[in-house]
Amino acid sequence: MAGSDRKHAAARFRRAIARSNALHAGYLGDPGLYDAYDRFTRWQLDYMLPFFDDLTGPAGYAEAVDFVVSDLAGIGVSDRDREIERAAPIVVRTLPTHALETAAAAVELNAATLEANVAILRALLVDGELPPMTEEAYLAACRSASSYEECMNLVHLAVASGRTLKTLVRIPPIGWLLATMRAPAQAAGFGELQTFLERGFRTFRRISDIDRFLELLQRRMHEVFAEMFASPP
pTM for this predicted structure: 0.82
- The mean pLDDT value for 174-202 works out to 75
DSSP state of 147: -
Provide mean pLDDT across the span 113-127.
92
Q: What is the C-alpha separation between 119 and 32, in angstroms, rounded? A: 16
User: What residues contact residue 112 under an 8 Å CB cut-off, 6+ apart?
Assistant: 153, 154, 157
More confident residue, 16 or 226: 226
- Enumerate residues 6+ apart whose C-beta is below 8 A from 139: 228, 232
In terms of Cβ atoms closer than 10 Å to its own Cβ (0-12, 13-18, 19+), residue 133 is middle
Per-residue confidence (pLDDT) for residue 1, from 0 to 100: 43
More confident residue, 137 or 172: 137
pLDDT per position as a tens digit, 134-168: 999 999 999 999 999 999 998 998 898 888 888 87
Task: Tell me the mean pLDDT in the region 16-37.
Answer: 81
Can you name the residues that pair with 126 across neighbouring β-strands?
129
Residue type, 70: S
